[in-house]
Homo-oligomer: A and B are copies of this chain.
Amino acid sequence: MTQAVRHDSMRARNLGVVLAEVRRSGPVTRAALAEITGLTKTTVSKMVGDLLRAGMVTESGTLRDGERGRPGTAVTLSGGRVAALGLEINVDYLSACVVDLTLTVRLRYAQAVDNRASSPVETFSHLRRLAHRAVDEARLAGLVIAGSTLAVPGPVDDGLVHAAPNLGWHDVRVADLLDFPVEVDNEANLAALGELWFGAAPGDFLHVSGEIGIGAGLVVGGALFRGARGLAGELGHVVVSPDGPACRCGGRGCLEQYAGQDALLRAAGLAGAPEGVPRLLERLEAGHRDALGACERAGEALGVALTSAVHLMDPGTIVLGGVFAPLFPWLRDPVRETMTARLAAMRHAVPELTVSRLGGDAATLGAAGQVIHRVVADPWSHVATARTDPAPR
């Protein structure tokens, strides 16, 4: 028994080593894999066989090993079978995406829903339908869902959403509300990972998710900084003005009260308007004074909160995402000017301010990407449990 367990754990380790190497250097022959990894050719062949059967790699023509080597069959990472489901509940929309093992986005759905008007039970029933639809369509394309992650707009502690103030949620345990296993994480954390894996940002940045709430995710040296309890990055509740308007979080003068989507629309005279953000963008493009003023003031507040964040966290670059992405042309100057005025004298360089190309999709993509990264880090668990399909049925 112990012997078998030890044998399995070595096989699991070797399978991970071989898959990681195919991912890094593929297309690559078995002989080259043996040379790079230091494993025997027999072991490599066995591992490649397992990965082929699991649909994680595929054979793609022949390849010569070096100048004098004999041609061998090339092995490459396959996007044809293993995939992941990324889900997001946000205040005014739900979204889902399916990403395959090569991190190619295969499906993407978004649905506008005002989740403030619904109970968690209703919201999750909508989400279930969206997830089942995505999984059914992925199956038609021959994909098998290896797992799923859900992004929610609030701090998450061990599967429990203690408070998502903008949704009116308190102590919501996600596992109780879905009929398939899902990991849950904070929207801003997953959006930062989405930016890291699918965006253009380098390995050191603070990604700001502008939604009705505002969150941030700090990536340092290619890894997400989570803090002691996984609750770091709540930029939306950084204090901009201590006696400012009351916030749903229980505080006062939080950034969200100045630069959150609702606050912005209210300041632009678009409170409660359907299609608020597209209408705001129309007005900005038309040079509407209230709209321009609203962005100016939101940008200044964002600049104040980011000044505090730069002093505390020292990010490499700042990437504005979510609704701040389409609004970037109007936010850029007030944010930059505020930060420069407050930071330039003390620091060599004020962090560069850039815009996310993923916008509102970052969190859903990060959610799916997280599952793929886990599969790649530990393919054995997936190969071994492939028959007990963890996806929605």
Q: B-contacting residues of A (Cβ < 8 Å)?
A: 155, 157, 162-163, 165, 204, 216, 220, 225-235, 237-242, 249-252, 304-305, 307-309, 311-316, 341-348
Contacts and interface: CB of A to CB of B under 8 A. Distances in A.
B238 A304 contact: no
B250 A314 contact: no
Contacts of A305: 239, 308
Contacts of A252: 342
B348 A251 contact: no
Contacts of A341: 250-251
Q: Which of A157, A227, A240 has the most CB of B within 10 A?
A: A227
Nearest to A240: B242
25 contacts: A163-B346, A220-B227, A225-B225, A228-B314, A231-B314, A232-B314, A233-B312, A235-B312, A237-B346, A238-B311, A239-B239, A239-B305, A239-B307, A239-B308, A239-B342, A242-B304, A249-B342, A250-B343, A250-B344, A250-B345, A250-B346, A251-B341, A252-B342, A309-B312, A312-B313
Nearest to A164: B346
B163 A345 contact: yes
A304 B239 CA distance: 7
Nearest to A154: B346
A238 B242 CA distance: 12
Contacts of A216: 312
B157 A348 contact: yes
A314 to B, nearest CB: 3
A216 B308 CA distance: 13
Task: Report the 8 A-B pairs with minimum CB-CB distance, sorted nearest first.
Answer: A227-B314, A250-B345, A228-B316, A234-B311, A251-B342, A232-B314, A204-B228, A231-B314
A233 B308 CA distance: 10
A347 B155 contact: yes
A157 to B, nearest CB: 6
B230 A314 contact: yes
A226 to B, nearest CB: 7
Contacts of A308: 237-239, 305, 308, 312
A312 B346 contact: no
A163 B252 CA distance: 33
A319 to B, nearest CB: 13
Contacts of A163: 345-347
Given A204-B228, A220-B227, A220-B228, A238 B346 contact: no
B307 A251 contact: yes
Contacts of A241: 241-242
A250 B339 CA distance: 11
A228 to B, nearest CB: 4
A311 B305 CA distance: 11
A245 to B, nearest CB: 13
A346 B155 contact: yes
Nearest to A215: B311
A249 B316 contact: no
A226 B313 contact: no
